[in-house]
Amino acid sequence: MNKLNIIKTKHLIFKNCTYLIQNISNRNAVLIDPSWQAGKYENLIATENLKLVAIFVTHHHIDHSNLAGKLASQYKCPVYMLAEEIDYYSFNCANLYPIVADVEQLEMGGIVVKIIRTPGHTYGGACFMIDDNLFSGDTLFIEGCGMCNIDGGDAAKMFASLQMLKRIISDTTKIYPGHQYQLKIGKIFKEVKHVNIYLNFKTEEEFVKFRMRDGQKGLLDFT
């Protein structure tokens, strides 16, 4: 049985939602997208007497990865990121291990992490599924999806990634993105589909036109 810990961090304009999942029986833990405030992770790991066995990074952007190498060195654990993300951006940090194309899941200290490739926001972005929780980085927010007008971004690929999630994710899966906007994180996917316009476009053409429209506001209005 696993326990989910939500750790919110901030730096300048950034406010991130990060996650530590601990195995109740053996006290092993994995960390997703560590950022900004190292003390928050260190305190929780020490208080709960946990062993950090792996760090998973959804994509290379600094607000999702800037503590990965530091904590990996400190706790002597691997950092996992999709190989295509590493290669495209020449990303590097301590103890970095690429997740290659044929890997669908990893078992770390009794915690099973399913790997879901979701390019669109970046070239090799990923979501991670643990139990009935989807950790969606900047691919899927409760009421939106990641920007696609940046290096390696591709709105057509984002459309395909979101359509794929709709096919494979159950309605009862809880969604935990990398940022919170107005709506509370952890909603079940059935509810997210009702409030998220990006999950309701019928064609790639319509999706791309809307996602890439001019004059978008509130893209960094995190709460």
The structure tokens listed for 89 are: 């951006």
* 3-class secondary structure, 188: strand
The residue written with tokens 């560590």 in the block is 34
pTM of the full structure: 0.97
In 3D space, the residue among 28, 97, 90, 43 whose CA is nearest the CA of residue 69 turns out to be 97
Query: What mean pLDDT, rounded, does the chain reach?
Result: 97
Give the residues of the chain that fall short of pLDDT 70.
Answer: none
Q: Any idea what the CATH number is for the domain that residue 182 is in?
A: 3.60.15.10
Q: Is 173 inside a domain boundary?
A: yes
Q: Is 26 inside a domain boundary?
A: yes
Q: Is 218 inside a domain boundary?
A: no
Vertex 135: Cα angle to 6 and 200 (nearest 5): 125
CB 152 within 8 A of CB 88: yes
Distance CA 119, CA 85 (A): 9
Encode pLDDT of 13-71 as tens digits: 999 999 999 999 999 999 999 999 999 999 999 999 999 999 999 999 999 999 999 99
Q: Which domain holds residue 181?
A: 2-211
| DSSP 8-state symbol, 1 | -
What is the Cβ-side half-sphere exposure of residue 112, based on CA atoms within 13 angstroms?
A: 6
In 3D space, the residue among 65, 52, 38 whose CA is nearest the CA of residue 138 turns out to be 65
